[in-house]
Structures are given as C-alpha cells and as structure tokens.
Structure 1
C-alpha cells in the first residue's frame, strides 16, 4: 500500500508473467495506487472541496487556473508558474498546517517538528521556492484505529526506535554510507515516471488471467478513492468485463468495512472505511478482512 505501488507492483507482476519464472502467482492487491497521473492527481481537488477542507472559491481557482495534476507536473520539473504559486498559496491557507492529508480524520502529532502537508511539501516533489510559498515543511502522517486509537506521534517514535544502535544491530542493518534512518529519503529516485500511466499494465495482467484487487482507504486525500474507482470502472468497461458483484457494502464483524464492486470475477475494487493512505496502519482489522478475502479468492463478506 502506498502511491508508488501503482507502478512497481503492476510492472513487476507483468515481468513475472512474461518471464520463465515458475511462480504460482495467484493475484495481486494494490492500495491507494497512482495508476493514471491526471485522474489521480485531480481527484484530490474534488476531495478537498467535498470533505470541507477548502472553500467553494478555492475549488473554483483549482478548476480554473491550476489543478493538482498541473501543479505536480510543474513540481517534477521544478518550474512553477505564477498561476500555480498563487492558487496553491491560497489553497494552503485554507488547508492549514494541521491536517494530515494521508488521513484527513486523524489527529496530528503536536510535539513533532514536521508539518503534515503531505504531497505538497514532499522534498522529492517540490523545490524550496514552492515549499516556502506554502509555508510547509517535510511531510508526515499519522494513523487512527477504530477500536484503539493509534498514537499520532508513531512516526517520530518509529524514527527514534529504528535509529537505536541496538535495534539496528538486531535487524542486521547495513549502515554503509547512511548516517541515520529516515521515513523518506532521496537515495532511491523513483519519481521519474510518475506521469506514465500504469492502468493499462493492470489491464494486461487481468487479460492474462491474474485476479487484481485495487483498494482505497477512503480517508486519503493524496490518492483519493474517487479517482481510483473511476479508473477501475473505465478499465473494466474497456476490457468488456461485466459486473459480477454489484456495488455494495462489505463487512468486518458487524460493521461496514467499506464498499466493493467486482468485474468479471477477476477485477475488483474496494474501499476500506475510515482508512488512511496506509490502510493497514489505520484500519488493521478491516484491512486483514480484505486481505483474507483476496487470498481466498472470494468476494468480500456481505455481513
């Protein structure tokens, strides 16, 4: 689960299919994945507005002058237009610094020096000029569970824990050339092909007979479920797949775990209710129920 799994998981899967490797590949599941740049990025704008994070006037600015896909395209080339700088400075004022866009219903870590501006402030995306204009710092995330509320400072505590020498020794961590462990770093440069669509790769996997589950934590505004759901729907239509499980709620225990739809008994979409960008971290029970269904090859439970 994570944005970039929408690229390397389908690409690796297709490589396995086309190779001579004798692997008993039963299916794949990808969560909150980046599958098609324009659709995924622009769905964030509607998500901010529909969830009350920005005003009508700010939403109109996004639609008229600089939407999220244009912003990210400019960010990748580090060449920002005056339109985007102006629009997103205004949007950032309304979003504020204390909303975690990976999990919009979660609290943030008040003791952290980080600002949860998420994708706006990711150092791999944005240059100092744009980051400064948004008054943002390095991105962070927090989680919230249904039965036991998670610690919103878990990221800070995890960083401290994994930088302990005894922990690194126990994990047999190789520290050659690395001074400290960090959640996000620039060692692996994986942003170069973000604008390359992989939804067609998913289609090739489906056509090869491998089941695919695409799921979304519905409280993630970075890769919102609305864009993902639309992409899966259009892919099913392009492949000529008929709906075999109509759009309906699925259950974990006696509570609604999310909503799901299945096409041709091979391509599935599901939301995980109340889940963040990293669904298992914020909704472990519901995520486990989804993974069990995927592994068993059965539809998500109806009750």
Structure 2
C-alpha cells in the first residue's frame, strides 16, 4: 500500500513562491465547478512553437501534492492522432473527478481525485499537435501534419517550457501517454535525445518514459486481435483454427479472399463488444451502430465501445484513440475519416468535458483562447486534415533508447481489444533482451493486480488485470500504485 504525505519543506515553499511569479499570467487561481482550495498549484497557457505561423501549443501543469521541488516532472500525451490530452485530465489521471451538476446543462461539479498522478509527480498535459484541443495555428496549412512535425513541435515546446519554469530543469523528467502516444512518445524522445547530444539549452533531464496500450508496430498490433479474441473466449476454437489456417498468421492488410472472409466472420462475432474493454458494456444499440457505420471503411471489430466504472461515471466510451480505430494508413499517409471527425464521432458521449471546456468562464480561468477565436473544444479534432506517419513500426526507437540506459515501462490493460496486450508483449520480447525478473504477479491491496516481467536495460512490461485501453480510467487505484513505485525506482 502506498502512503502519501504532504511535505511542507522549505525547498517546496521556495519553489512554489518562485513559480508563482513565472510565467506571468499562467497561474490558475480558480476553476469553475470546483469549490475549495486546490491541493497544489496549477498553471496553464500557451507556448509558441512557431512565431512565423503563429503555432501555439496549450499546456496545463499540476504541481505535485507531495514535494514539487524534488518530484519528477511528467509530460502526458493522449493519442488519436488528434486527441486532446484533456481527455486524460478529465477522465483518467487528472486532479479531479467530474460529475454532472444539479442543473441540466450546467457546469459539471469537480471533486478531488484521490488517485491523481499529481499525488507523486508534477504533471504537464499537452495538447499536441496544433489544432488539437486548445492548441491552434493561425496558418491552416499546419493542420496537414504528421509524426515528425508533431515531435519537432513538442520538443520546441519542452525547451521553451523549461525556460519558463527553470525551477524544474534539474528534476527527473519522464514522458508518458497511451494509445497513439505509442508513436508520439518515441519520436519525441528521439528529438529530445538529439537535442541533448547537441547540447541544446536548457538541457532536458530525461530519465525515461512509460506508455500504456500503445500503438507500436502494425504487424504486432493488428495481428494480435484474433489470438486475443480466442484466448478470451470471444470466438470459438473452430473459428480460430479456420481463420488461422486461411490467414497463416496475418489478419490485416492485403490478405487472400478466403482469409478476408474468415476475418469478417471474426469481426461479426465481436461487433457488439466494447473493444476498449471487453468487460464493459456498450451503450449503442447494435442497429444504430450499424447504421452509423454503413458507409465506413473501418473494420467492424473496432466500431463499438462502452463505458467504464469510475467514482463518478461520466461518459460513454469512444472510438479513435489509436490508429486501428480512426484512420486508414496508405503509404505513410493517414486519412482522417470524415464521419469520425470532431463532434460527429460515433460512440462518444463526452458531454461533461465539452460542457466544461467550452464554457467561456472556464476558458478564461485556464487562460485558453475563446471559442470565437479557436472554435469549440473537441475530444478528437476535426481540424487535422491528413496525418503523415513515420512507418509501420517504432520498435527500433525503443531498442535505441533502452540501449542508452533510459528507463522504460510498457504497460497494458489486459482486457483491451484495441491494442491487445499479447501483441505488445510480443514486440517487447522481440527486442531480444535477457529476462532478469521473470513473469510474476504484482499486487495491490494483497490482491493480484496484474503481471510483470523485467528485462535488462531498464525495460519493464506490465499488465493490469481487468483494465481496458485507458488504464488510469478503469483501474485508478492500481495505476497510481504501479506509477508511484516505478517513478521512485522501487520494484513493482
């Protein structure tokens, strides 16, 4: 059991007083919907990453409730591509739980989240790339973007952010995220490492990164859904043997006609499941779901989603957090499906986040631009036109960074059919590292919370029992436990 103690040290007090003055105008002194004192200092605002084009990235910083002067600084990125990191702030590991207000159509009520990652770390939520969430550009050509431009902009953001907050330059720095952030993070780390090698200032004190249910390698990710479905008892052994024989282990892309027929049968068997958590309900009636997708080119196995249990259940689950769900990949160019853009996204019920983040009083409080200037907040932006990806795999980046000594945690909710843990485990094993901590359970509250395996070069793979695609949302207690232990270098 992890215990949290608020440290009122002289160093922490000095940090808080110094940060309060810099940068000017970024201190958040109130939040509509929340009553009482914030448990730590909050800051938010824009950082320009391109003065010529007027490209501005929006961030929200939550200082650690433990010891902000010494605790790590952790950057959080949601996926998509095109998903606002306020998704994580509102529904996953942020400082609040959101619940409906007493007045219909009114602002949500905010209650403190006892399992916020700010319990043990300073955490920065970044809307990236420009056009996502509250981030924007004055040049609409910036909304044709891709992995490399996104990584370069995020690196520029970090350099300027640490200039704004020099107090944190010596703190251990980690990058975290989930889903398509499995692509965002390695490409950003590559920029950071190159900057360190070039001795760019300020020097970023990078120590490692952690990724949850991350898109990583198309072959491992896309080919894992059939074995996962069989292992979870979602399809029969007869169907599994038929599709395996017809497809020879390749269940996506250019396959033969017999294989495609068998895959479609698997899709049909799974179509009414919540693919982000097979244990959770799906809130769309199948007939309505089929109508919404009748002209879609997306596979039916990624079209229906449900909900999660939280202290304050607030939303229905949605599609689009990672590449199988939202995009079509052709020659490295990801087309954003019109029927899946912005507010028209099927299977989404994010009224609370939309109601809160589109309120002009809230925007003023967090120093975000008004709707009249940048438009409504969207969980998945309709502004990104095309997204150029870096290729089919980023495993080479993980090999590079682990060999350099950076600490890496790859974790998976074990009931996610979007990016199944079996594919993630397979690519981790494919790196060929020696196992130094053999497969074993890890515990929370004297109960098995999942399984883990440790490798040489500071690489750890971890599952979270019963969690779906967005692990902190489904298992907030257990997530804070492994997060706290890993950050502190303790054995999970």
TM-score range, shorter chain: 0.7 to 0.9
- Which residue of the partner structure matches residue 282 of structure 2? 108
Q: Do the aligned partners of residues 282 and 94 (structure 1) sit closer, same or farther apart at CA in structure 2, a change above 3 Å counting?
A: same
Flag the structure with more relative contact order, 1 or 2, with Cα contacts below 8 A and sequence separation at least 6.
1
Q: Distance in 2 between matches of 1:157 and 1:90?
A: 34
- Which residue of the partner structure matches residue 128 of structure 1? 295
Q: Distance in 2 between matches of 1:279 and 1:111?
A: 25
- Which residue of the partner structure matches residue 415 of structure 2? 219
State the Cα distance separating 1:189 from its structure 2 match.
5.7
Q: Do the aligned partners of residues 100 and 67 (structure 1) sit closer, same or farther apart at CA in structure 2, a change above 3 Å counting?
A: farther
- Which residue of the partner structure matches residue 208 of structure 1? 404
- Which residue of the partner structure matches residue 124 of structure 1? none
Are 1:49 and 2:49 an aligned pair? no
Are 1:25 and 2:206 an aligned pair? yes
- Which residue of the partner structure matches residue 5 of structure 1? 181
CA contact (8 A) 2:405 2:457 kept: no
Are 1:144 and 2:309 an aligned pair? yes
State the Cα distance separating 1:46 from its structure 2 match.
0.7
CA contact (8 A) 1:259 1:271 kept: yes
Relative to the length of structure 2, the TM-score reads 0.49
- Which residue of the partner structure matches residue 292 of structure 1? 484
**What's the C-alpha RMSD, in Å, of the aligned pairs?**
3.5
In structure 1, runs of 5+ residues without a counterpart are: 75-79, 122-126
Are 1:37 and 2:211 an aligned pair? no
> Residues 242-277 of structure 1, C-alpha deviation per residue, up to 9 Å, x if partnerless?
322221111112111211111125011111111111
- Which residue of the partner structure matches residue 95 of structure 1? 270
CA contact (8 A) 2:276 2:306 kept: yes
Larger strand proportion of the pair: 2
Q: Distance in 1 between matches of 2:359 and 2:246?
A: 47
CA contact (8 A) 2:412 2:462 kept: yes
Q: Distance in 1 between matches of 2:242 and 2:388?
A: 28
State the Cα distance separating 1:159 from its structure 2 match.
4.9
CA contact (8 A) 1:88 1:134 kept: no
Q: Distance in 2 between matches of 1:264 and 1:296?
A: 18
- Which residue of the partner structure matches residue 153 of structure 1? 316
- Which residue of the partner structure matches residue 389 of structure 2? 193
> Residues 267-301 of structure 1, C-alpha deviation per residue, up to 9 Å, x if partnerless?
1111111111100000001111111122101220x
Following superposition of structure 1 onto structure 2, how do residues 240-259 of structure 1 map, counting pairs within 5 Å?
241-259=433-451
Q: Do the aligned partners of residues 83 and 290 (structure 1) sit closer, same or farther apart at CA in structure 2, a change above 3 Å counting?
A: same
> Residues 164-201 of structure 1, C-alpha deviation per residue, up to 9 Å, x if partnerless?
55545544355357654433334336754275211110
State the Cα distance separating 1:92 from its structure 2 match.
3.1
CA contact (8 A) 2:274 2:280 kept: yes
Larger Rg: 2
Larger helix proportion of the pair: 1
Q: Distance in 1 between matches of 2:449 and 2:353?
A: 30
Number of aligned residues: 276
In structure 2, runs of 5+ residues without a counterpart are: 1-176, 318-348
Q: Distance in 2 between matches of 1:26 and 1:169?
A: 34
Q: Do the aligned partners of residues 95 and 111 (structure 1) sit closer, same or farther apart at CA in structure 2, a change above 3 Å counting?
A: closer
CA contact (8 A) 1:102 1:276 kept: yes
Q: Distance in 2 between matches of 1:183 and 1:254?
A: 37
- Which residue of the partner structure matches residue 341 of structure 2? none
> Residues 70-101 of structure 1, C-alpha deviation per residue, up to 9 Å, x if partnerless?
53x46xxxxx986576444422331132x111
CA contact (8 A) 1:219 1:275 kept: yes
